[in-house]
A and B are shown apart, each in its own frame.
Chain A
């Protein structure tokens, strides 16, 4: 069977590569949007007024409590059409993954910020910094270092989540793989090859993140790695 596999993979390589690139793009977009929305959300949850905190907590509860599949269906079939927005599946997937990522990431950042001792803020204020200056220059940099390992763990989760976007027809790696299978009937080897690609993407991504961690880490912010 393996002999049949290689020619097929070579034939379909461009098609698959598009899927791989799209998958990577989805992951990057989800992580970026998640960061851009999640960090302010964390700050809002810690330092904001009560109504702000309430709204954020409901948001987090909603986006973490619903299965990704339900969220995709809800936005693709329900919300976007109801708002009259005729967006392609890819855009909707990015929105959903981004908003969901924000919910998870906000909690990671929140945990990191809360773990920083009160003394840091006190010292900063006693040097004459405003609250916002202290947050920006003292608290956040430390929080980012503390959050990095937990944030890195989001990567493999979002990577495997992109596969669920198959359900709304996004032409990422899994969808394209099923297309190839339906046209060549070489089911098992192609699926297993696809699994290997995901595992390789996982490994490569984690390696990059580990390199980033090692570059950025400062003594005293060590974390236990399993």
Chain B
């Protein structure tokens, strides 16, 4: 079988269905990973002592434990304590925890860099602490943390491949199966590599545009000192 036929008739359809699964994993995991990351960061920055302890423990566990081990715990370990998770759900939970743990570090750093005066002014206007966090601190912190969050999203695209290790046939799984069946290892894996590179590159470009769009203009009024 020549290369072109191999590409169009074997690889393309298999990759298509694999890609759909990869995108599904990412589409579900990313928003939850972001929201949980925000919650953990806010919890560590503003929460009571038990909340701070719990959040810190979560981050230490999810950053220190390899994602693959986490997936094994969720998929192979949980049934032994009575919780049956489908491979998809187990993967998503694992990805969400890992993504959230790293996101929370970026967001927490950004929150700390927001000037204290912002919170003070908000409270002086009568906002409750949570209103001030929601409307004043977080919007600024998330803009600052955006490059880090984008970075983590790119990592998510890549470690979604680990879902194959708990039986999900996503992009990498599809490639492995084709490669093993047809003994075309280099071609298949290079092709799948190109797909991942495309995903990553597109994400980088889109993120760049989003960052520019939501950036806060900083200019200086002519001839006077800025604050």
Contact = CB atoms under 8 A, between A and B. Distances in A.
The answer to whether A and B come from one shared complex is: yes
Interface of A: 61-62, 65-71, 73-74, 77-79, 81-82, 156, 159-164, 166-167, 174, 177-178, 181, 187-188, 191-192, 194-195, 198-199, 202-203, 224, 226
Q: Is the interface of A mostly helix, strand, loop or mixed?
A: helix
A65 B200 CA distance: 6
B197 A66 contact: yes
Interface string B96-113: 000000000100110010
Contacts, number: 124
A191 B108 contact: no
A160 B196 contact: no
A65 B197 CA distance: 5
Residue among B65, B73, B112, B197 facing the most chain A CB atoms (10 A cut-off): B65
Interface stretch (B85-93, B115-123, B185-193): B185-193
B28 interface: no
Interface string B154-182: 00001111101100000010011001000
A174 B179 CA distance: 25
Contact of B196 (A67, A166, A224): A67
Contact of B108 (A68, A163, A226): A226
17 contacts: A66-B193, A67-B158, A70-B175, A70-B189, A73-B179, A73-B185, A74-B193, A81-B185, A160-B67, A163-B68, A164-B162, A187-B79, A188-B77, A191-B77, A194-B69, A195-B65, A226-B105
Nearest to A156: B63
